[in-house]
Structure 1
Amino acid sequence: MPTDAPRPPIWARPEPSARAPRFSRERIAAAALEIADADGIEAVSMRNVAARLGAGTMTLYNYVETKDELFALMDDALMAEAVVPDGELPAGWREATAVIARRTWAVLTRHPWAISLRQGPALGPNAMYHFEQSLAALSGTGLSVAARFDVLATVDAYVFGSALRAADARGGAETERADVEALIAYGMQQLATGRFPNAADLLGGRDPRDADVAGPPTDPAGVAAQFERGLQAVLDGIAGWM
Structure 2
Amino acid sequence: MRKGARCCTHPAPYVTRDRSGGDLLVLAVRREVRPVREQAHDEREHEVLVRDDASPDLTDRRARAALPSYTREQIARTALAIADAEGFDAVTMKRIASELGSSTMALYYYVRTKADIIALMHDAILEDVLIPADEMPTDWREATAEISRRSRNALVAHPWSLASLNDAQFGPNAMRHYEQSLAALRGTDLTTARKITLTAILDDYVVGSAIHTVESLERARAAEQNPVTVRDAMVFGQGLLSTGGFPELAALQVKANAHIDRDPAADFPAMDVDDLRDQFESGLNALLDGLSHSMRIA
TM range (shorter): 0.7 to 0.9
Corresponding residue for 1:229?
282
Q: Aligned pairs, how many?
A: 234
Q: Which runs of 5+ in 2 are unaligned?
A: 1-31, 38-57
1:209 CA drift (Å):
11
Map of 1:183 onto structure 2: 233
- 1:202 pairs with one of 252, 277, 287: 252
Matches within 5 A, 1:22-171: 22-120=69-167, 122-171=169-218
Distance 2:258 2:191 in 1: 48
Q: State the structure with bigger RCO (CA 8 A, min sep 6), 1 or 2.
A: 2
The structural deviation recorded for 1:196 is 2.3
Once the two structures are TM-superposed, the CA of residue 162 in structure 1 deviates from its matched residue by 0.3
Residue 8 of structure 1: aligned partner: 35
The alpha-carbon distance between structure 1 residues 208 and 71, as it changes in their structure 2 partners (threshold 3 A), is farther
Larger Rg: 2
1:142 Cα deviation from its structure 2 partner: 1.3
How many Å separate the matches in 2 of 1:62 and 1:9? Answer: 14
Confirm whether residue 239 of structure 1 aligns to residue 292 of structure 2: yes
- 5+ unaligned residues in a row in structure 1: which ranges? 11-15
Secondary structure at the aligned position of 1:204 is classed as helix
Give the deviation of 1:154 after TM superposition.
Answer: 0.5
Give the whole-Å Cα distance in 1 for the aligned partners of 2:174 and 2:259: 43
Question: Mean Cα displacement is larger for which, 194-203 or 143-152?
Answer: 194-203
| Residue type of the alignment partner of 1:71 | I
8 Å CA contact 1:75, 1:117 repeated in 2:
no
Q: 1:160 to 1:216 in 2, by over 3 A?
A: same
Cα drift, residue 198 of structure 1: 2.2
Measure, in 2, the Cα distance between the counterparts of 1:226 and 1:115: 20
CA deviations over 1:173-204 (Å, ceiling 9, x no partner): 11122222222222222222223222222222
Give the aligned residue type for 2:253: L
TM-score w.r.t. structure 2 length? 0.72
Answer yes or no: is the 8 Å Cα contact 1:72–1:122 preserved in 2. yes
Identity of aligned residues (%): 40
Q: Please tell me the root mean square deviation across aligned C-alpha atoms, in Å.
A: 2.6
| Deviations, residues 194-230 of structure 1 (Å, cap 9, x unaligned) | 2322222222265599995842111111111011000
Please give the alpha-carbon distance, in whole angstroms, between the structure 2 residues aligned to 1:34 and 1:210.
45
Greater per-residue strand proportion: 2
Q: Distance in 2 between matches of 1:208 and 1:191?
A: 17
Cα distance per residue 1:120-166 (max 9 Å; x no partner):
25311111111111000111211111111110111011111101111
Range moving further from structure 2, 153-162 or 108-117: 108-117
Retained in 1: the 8 A contact 2:123–2:171?
Answer: yes
- Paired residue for 2:14? none
The alignment partner of 1:174 has SS state of helix
